[in-house]
Structure 1
Amino acid sequence: MLLPVIVISQFLCTSLWFAGNAVLPDIIKNFPLEMNLLANLTSMVQFGFISGTLVFAVFSISDIFPPSKVFFICGITAALFNLAICLELSDVRLLLLFRFLTGFMLAGIYPVGMKIASDYFKDGLGKSLGFLVGALVLGTAFPHLLRTLTTAFPWKSLIYATSALSLIGAGSVFIFVPNGPFRMAGQKFDLSASFSGFKNSNFRSVAFGYFGHMWELYTFWAFLPGMLLFYNSKHPASSLNVSLFSFLIIASGALSCIAGGLLSQKFGAKRIATIALAVSGLCCLLSSLFLFIDSVYLFVSFLLIWGLSATADSPLFSSLVAKNAPERLRGTSLTLVNCIGFTITIISIQVINYLAKAFNSPYIYMVLAIGPALGLLALLKDKNKKVC
């Protein structure tokens, strides 16, 4: 019964991730001169997460300290920083700082949640992480649904709600989830040891596959509302509800995470991850075609396929990284790989934002195919059949 508690708690806490994005149109009214607020707001959460994962990796926090307590403290603190954007802020730098600090604390939730799962479920880890990453995806999408349901209320009500959910999730882990039976005492930080996993070709292969996946995923999520707005502008009769369809398309990835985890038990995690990465890469290449297609049903179906495939490989890569990492540094290895992966998301988001301003063309999303292409190259280059 512990897995449902971990999964639900991760969902509740990660609802903070895109809370700022969901109310961005309202926030922009306070900062009308900030032309890059979407990219910068998203990037600051990512940058905060990266900084947090780096600190957690340097001090091996999730390996040395009880991970449930780390999750609890970070969930509480992240909720408070999320609430801070409801203050009357006149300086956009304060807004970005609070989003940075929220992201920093999320480093004690997402990778630490995976660490907790790996301490409990040594066998069938791919399936367990499928549920966990599915919870992350659903949590990321959830603010868009909340915004759809709370349009009659002030935007701050969404921020209050997501912070309350995080408090509940943090408390649930603290109360109901003790140390797992497979938890091993961690080591003090050793820089060379933290990167030692990259000496292993299996670890290196799946880590680089994950990095290619990350180039695409968060940029797709961040610019998805923009794609929907663009389609509405070209096809006024479609009148797609941007918040609702953003939620549905991002949240569909939760189902593919679970399905990918289950399929990996029969066909192998690496094989399923490779297929998912190939499909999402193809969607990147076809994006410009479907943004102009007349049929709204084909357009939405395409975005759903993209949402499903772009996320399906997330838990599989995490499982493969955990399995191929040095055992006593599993938590640190997961955190370090996450740190590098989320650094890549910032670069990708800023690149697409720059291209959007410079060219104002739907063809820019084809650039996202670079990540899956390089990730596939890393996965297919490794001939070792032990990675599964």
Structure 2
Amino acid sequence: MPAAASPAELASSPEPAAGLGPAPGAGPSTGAEPAGRWAALAVLGTGTLLALAPWFSASAVAPLLAAEWHTTGLQLPLLTVAVQLGFAAAALVLAASAAADVVPGRWLFFVGASVAAAGNLGFALLATDAASALPFRVLTGAGIAAVYPVALKLIAGWFRAGRGLAIGVLIGALTIGSALPHLFRAIGAMNGLDWRWVVGAASVAAVAGGLLVLILARPGPFETPASRFSPTVAAAAFREPAVRLANLGYLGHMWELYAMWTWVPAFIAASFLAAGERDPGVASLASFTVVAAGGIGCVVAGALADRLGRTTMTIAAMVASGSCAIAVGFTFGAAPVLLLAIAIPWGITVVADSAQFSTAVSELAPRGTAGSALSLQVAAGFVLTGVTIIGVGFLAPTDALGWRLAFGSLALGPLVGIVAMWRLRARPEAVRMASGRR
């Protein structure tokens, strides 16, 4: 966003835009903010929400794929891992080529959304088993890499004051967009639709989001050139202990986030079934609610982060999400309302701190290095998500004990992240974050 960036935190954004303060030299020095900034945020937020729909489409229809394709072992989780790897590779390529400076942002967003939609539609119409689906999933991830980071770059051109809230809204849009296939699956289940219609709906949403941004989005007055990725420059940034600690916090966050988004729908479906709820549409609707609830956390955290401080926000979010990861496994087979009482707060807190880690890197990295450091951070984070998604698959949880072990292992990420951010808070360089609020 989680990402995101969440997941894609400013991999191809202008270096200063990764933070929440004004970009040096960007726009006029008067205190006036552009009159169209909230309209721009509405367009980019809605476009991002729709364009991200293909991301977890395979996860949303996993039980139907398993029945039709007779999948075994790790075949289904690999469909999500393929998206993650496609995203990481394409994000680095886009950053290294500075494509955002060559192609207008709204066109790059549209092309990315269209590529993601095409890959997703190929998965629905052309794939005949898990192996043949993998290239289409990689293509989907590559397309998304031109969507979310570009949206962040575009919105940074419209906001100086309130940029934290704006970025929080975009990460919230990513979160709800990632949940959207579960809503489509719920509707499909209630109407007896084949899984291909569900996946196809995600592609339609992505094209609609791309068209919305292409037609209505415009660059803002504070837009600055995207920084080109350089491994040498990134290495210089990571020689700084504070940057390494902020990145370790981000990796702890990513350890948990995408594995949670991938596996919590399967957990909910199995738990509801064990509790006697046999309607798959109800389970899918619950999954949508849990994942989409993260949008609330993103907006609130984005609004509060500059006032409370980066380390305070991230530590609080990781304490909450890690605790929920441990607790939720104990609700397996319980009444659905009890499960949701833990799962929804988990959905809110697991992504709430996404923007703060990359914002911290942008504030701590030596001048001229933040863009490359963020690109490397994103790539490392998304590769790590593949490890934890597969790791939960290796544990093959099927009962209460299995899910406790699986989700309990995800709490290791927040634990490492808490330690890293606590150590960062104690360093003298921490005063450079959030206007001295650490």
TM-score, normalised to structure 2's length? 0.81
| SS of alignment partner, residue 221 of structure 2 | coil
Compare the two structures and name the one with the higher helix fraction.
1
Q: Which runs of 5+ in 2 are unaligned?
A: 1-38
Pairwise CA distance, 1:327 = 6.5
Aligned match of 2:268 in 211, 216, 228?
228
Pair 1:234–1:381, CA change in 2 (3 A): same
Q: Which runs of 5+ in 1 are unaligned?
A: none
Pair 1:119–1:199, CA change in 2 (3 A): farther
**Matched residue, 1:387:** 433
Pairwise CA distance, 1:331 = 5.2
Pairwise CA distance, 1:70 = 1.9
Q: How does 1:207-222 map to 2 (within 5 A)?
A: 207-222=247-262
**Matched residue, 2:322:** 281
Question: Which is worse superposed, 133-142 or 351-360?
Answer: 351-360
Aligned match of 2:112 in 66, 74, 79?
74
Pair 1:345–1:378, CA change in 2 (3 A): same
Deviations, residues 235-288 of structure 1 (Å, cap 9, x unaligned):
326978210110000010011111111122432233112200111112222233
In 2: Cα distance, 1:182 partner to 1:199 partner = 30
Pair 1:277–1:51, CA change in 2 (3 A): same
In 2: Cα distance, 1:303 partner to 1:21 partner = 17
Deviations, residues 285-306 of structure 1 (Å, cap 9, x unaligned):
22333336x4543321011111
In 1: Cα distance, 2:51 partner to 2:236 partner = 31
**Matched residue, 1:180:** 220
Deviations, residues 88-127 of structure 1 (Å, cap 9, x unaligned):
4335322111011101111111222222222332333221
In 2: Cα distance, 1:381 partner to 1:176 partner = 44
In 1: Cα distance, 2:297 partner to 2:356 partner = 11
Pair 1:2–1:342, CA change in 2 (3 A): same
Code of the aligned partner of 2:139: L
**Matched residue, 1:354:** 394
Aligned sequence identity (%): 30
Code of the aligned partner of 2:407: Y
Code of the aligned partner of 1:385: V
In 2: Cα distance, 1:324 partner to 1:179 partner = 27
Pair 1:194–1:237, CA change in 2 (3 A): closer
Preserved contact between residue 272 and residue 336 of structure 2 (Cα < 8 Å): no
Pair 1:125–1:332, CA change in 2 (3 A): farther
**Matched residue, 1:375:** 417
Deviations, residues 321-342 of structure 1 (Å, cap 9, x unaligned):
4444567665554433221111
**Matched residue, 1:254:** 295
Question: Which is worse superposed, 185-194 or 378-387?
Answer: 185-194
In 1: Cα distance, 2:350 partner to 2:109 partner = 26
| SS of alignment partner, residue 431 of structure 2 | coil
Question: Which is worse superposed, 119-128 or 134-143?
Answer: 119-128
Q: What count of residue pairs does the alignment treat as equivalent? A: 387
Preserved contact between residue 214 and residue 342 of structure 1 (Cα < 8 Å): yes
Preserved contact between residue 115 and residue 331 of structure 1 (Cα < 8 Å): no
In 2: Cα distance, 1:64 partner to 1:122 partner = 24
In 1: Cα distance, 2:366 partner to 2:408 partner = 36
Preserved contact between residue 131 and residue 257 of structure 1 (Cα < 8 Å): yes
**Are 1:190 and 2:236 an aligned pair?**
no
Question: Which is worse superposed, 149-158 or 73-82?
Answer: 149-158
Pairwise CA distance, 1:57 = 2.9
Pairwise CA distance, 1:186 = 4.2
Aligned match of 1:16 in 54, 57, 69?
54
In 1: Cα distance, 2:242 partner to 2:46 partner = 31
Preserved contact between residue 9 and residue 170 of structure 1 (Cα < 8 Å): yes
Question: Which is worse superposed, 148-157 or 253-262?
Answer: 148-157
Aligned match of 1:43 in 47, 64, 81?
81
Pair 1:26–1:197, CA change in 2 (3 A): same
In 2: Cα distance, 1:187 partner to 1:210 partner = 21
Pairwise CA distance, 1:29 = 3.4
| SS of alignment partner, residue 385 of structure 1 | helix
What do you get for the CA RMSD once the two structures are aligned?
2.5
